[in-house]
Chains A and B, each alone.
Chain A
């Protein structure tokens, strides 16, 4: 099943310049794995050395931050979205 991924413009150099692109995956867990396998430069922006999501990074599956989900083995449905956000500190 295909889901739409969006990433901030500031790290789109890691995704061949694209800020929005499709990804084929069966589950959310697989989508998260494939995202950094397909775009390996993205890994350092999203995860720390321990493999945890960086604190200023927010990964949203549709309306939910994945940090609040009990289980990532969620089957992808048509129209699902995976959004990569970075908390913005400038001002």
Chain B
């Protein structure tokens, strides 16, 4: 029987810091540049690319890992949420310390990614993506990767990408199934041509029907492959089409993307309706009893801790404040003025609690 050495076993080298020489690009990317379609020139192109990932959940963390390990020049990551226990099953950049610290996902992911490749310029942003900031978040960006968990945000990204001429790599996963397509302004249809206004996605989210981690990794990896092809300029190798996978019983199909719809308000009529939507709408998040309300003013978390402490159980870190309400719900306040009302899916109930504790 093999004996597993304990940490105190003398045969195990003592832990200690080794003096590390800086890792050179040749060392780091040698296996990738040996791959002929990338090569040294492709690596240079990857290293000068600027990529935006919106959503740092299951898809987003896999995408970010691939992008950072591949050595993109700049990676901007945007997420509005913080790490929770149910994320650990599949959101591969997070650990129990991130949960205990209630770290925003963009912050926790940014820290992990910086340890993986310090050459990448990382730009983690804790924020919701709204009609007011979507285009600004894409400033200087060459490629947008979809790590979101709802059609509303996807259509917003779709419209902003098609307005600005930036390729958008859609990905989605739930249960054991997933889909992905690379949508290129001027070359392919857009996401709105495929799904219209989204129609709520049939109410099937990771929080209502579950999800297994491998399907997320697979879909995000397919997205990452198309991203690499785009960055190195190998448009001829593009997979094309809408890939649909179900990995439990195993079905796979790569279906033709249609021509843009004649009446598509995004890629034909250039009206970009998602960018015109009301940013003040309350948004129900991914079916997990959370409603977000975007307030007009930023929060000074320290001041709000003092204000809420007499009536609620309050905890705070530099990025957010949590208040457990006597009614049973929880408020999460972010410095940018957002509030998550957790424990309800009813926007009017959320608004009532918001008005009661935060004020309108």
Contacts and interface: CB of A to CB of B under 8 A. Distances in A.
Interface string B182-198: 00000000000011111
Given A86-B204, A91-B55, A56 B199 contact: yes
Nearest to B256: A63
Contacts of B249: 9, 19-20
B143 to A, nearest CB: 17
Contact of B150 (A45, A63, A89): A89
Q: Which of B148, B150, B199 has the most CB of A within 10 A?
A: B199
B42 interface: no
Given A19-B251, A20-B251, A56-B151, A90 B205 contact: yes
A91 to B, nearest CB: 4
A56 B200 contact: yes
A42 B181 CA distance: 26
A58 interface: yes
Interface string A45-59: 100000000111110
A58 B179 CA distance: 12
A58 B189 CA distance: 15
Nearest to B244: A85
Contacts of A91: 55, 57-60, 146-149, 171-173, 206, 216
B175 interface: yes
Given A56-B151, A63-B256, A90 B197 contact: no
A9 B201 contact: no
Given A10-B204, A63-B255, A90 B174 contact: yes
B298 interface: no
Nearest to B150: A89
Contacts of A8: 177, 246
- Give the bracket for the number of chain A residues in contact with chain B: 20 to 34
A6 B150 CA distance: 25
Nearest to B249: A19
Contacts of B178: 88
Chain B at the A interface: SS class = mixed
B241 to A, nearest CB: 9
Interface string A1-31: 0000010111000000001100000000000
Interface in A52-91: 54-58, 60, 63-65, 67-68, 83, 85-91
B259 interface: yes
Given A19-B249, A60-B255, A88 B173 contact: yes
B171 A54 contact: no
Contacts of B248: 9
Contact of A19 (B195, B198, B216, B246): B246
B256 A88 contact: no
B289 to A, nearest CB: 16
Interface string B51-66: 0000101111000000
B258 interface: yes
Nearest to A85: B244
B179 A87 contact: yes
B253 interface: yes
B174 A9 contact: no
29 contacts: A9-B176, A10-B177, A10-B202, A10-B204, A10-B209, A20-B251, A56-B195, A56-B196, A56-B199, A56-B201, A58-B194, A58-B242, A60-B255, A67-B258, A83-B255, A85-B179, A85-B255, A86-B202, A87-B151, A88-B172, A90-B173, A90-B175, A90-B204, A90-B206, A91-B60, A91-B146, A91-B147, A91-B173, A91-B206
Interface of B: 55, 57-60, 146-151, 154, 171-179, 194-202, 204-206, 209, 211, 216, 242, 244, 246, 248-249, 251, 253, 255-256, 258-259, 286
Interface of A: 6, 8-10, 19-20, 45, 54-58, 60, 63-65, 67-68, 83, 85-91
Given A9-B177, A87-B201, A91-B59, 19 more contacts: A20-B249, A56-B196, A56-B198, A56-B202, A58-B242, A63-B255, A68-B258, A87-B151, A87-B194, A88-B172, A88-B201, A89-B154, A89-B174, A90-B149, A90-B204, A90-B205, A91-B147, A91-B148, A91-B173
The 6 closest A-B pairs by CB, nearest first: A90-B174, A88-B172, A55-B196, A89-B201, A55-B199, A90-B206
